[in-house]
Amino acid sequence: MVQVRESSPPLARITGALYLLYFLTAIIGMLLVSRGFAVSGNVINIFSIACYFVVTVLFYVLFKPVSWVFSLLAALFSFGGCVVMSLGLFHIGSSVSPLLFFGPFCLLMGYLIFRSRFLPRVLGVAMAIAGFGWLAFLLPAVPNYVSIAIQIFGFLSELSLCLWLLVMGVNVKR
């Protein structure tokens, strides 16, 4: 494991750091909006979306050697989700859920991680399951307890990827 840390390119760690910054700012933004501080919360939400946009670009660069086609497709889905989230902040096009884009993004990321060999395959499996979960979350017939489980699993899957990139980086040899 020490060898992985020493040989990991800074791109992986930067991606992990920005991914963590996205998580933190998104949570703070949601808390502020829910507590009645809509303007401050939305400013932070815009910043969190910008972070996710940059994370998307970094993921594209990181996974381009695995498959530039699937990496580009994942990036396009993520960009679509970022646009929908941005519009939702201003109550424009709010009938479309960002999960319609982030579900396929997570599925594709799961595939890319699984194929990459420079990240643990279990992270790829978890991300793919999270992608299916985000898409299932959109179904109106999903019971509340399943929705909560999907949210928790999806959050933990993405957070695991984020922390792995930040702490462990990637195995350059692979």
Per-residue model confidence (pLDDT) at position 5: 40
Per-residue model confidence (pLDDT) at position 114: 96
Give pLDDT tens digits for 79-129: 999 999 999 888 887 788 999 999 999 999 999 999 998 999 999 999 999
Query: Residues, the chain, total?
Result: 174
Per-residue model confidence (pLDDT) at position 145: 75
pTM (whole model) above 0.75 = yes
Least Cα distance to 124 among 134, 136, 138, 112 occurs for 112
Q: How far apart are CA 13 and CA 5, in angstroms?
A: 10
Amino acid at 126: A
Higher pLDDT, 173 or 11: 11
Give yes or no for a contact between 24 and 55, defined as CB atoms under 8 angstroms apart.
Answer: no
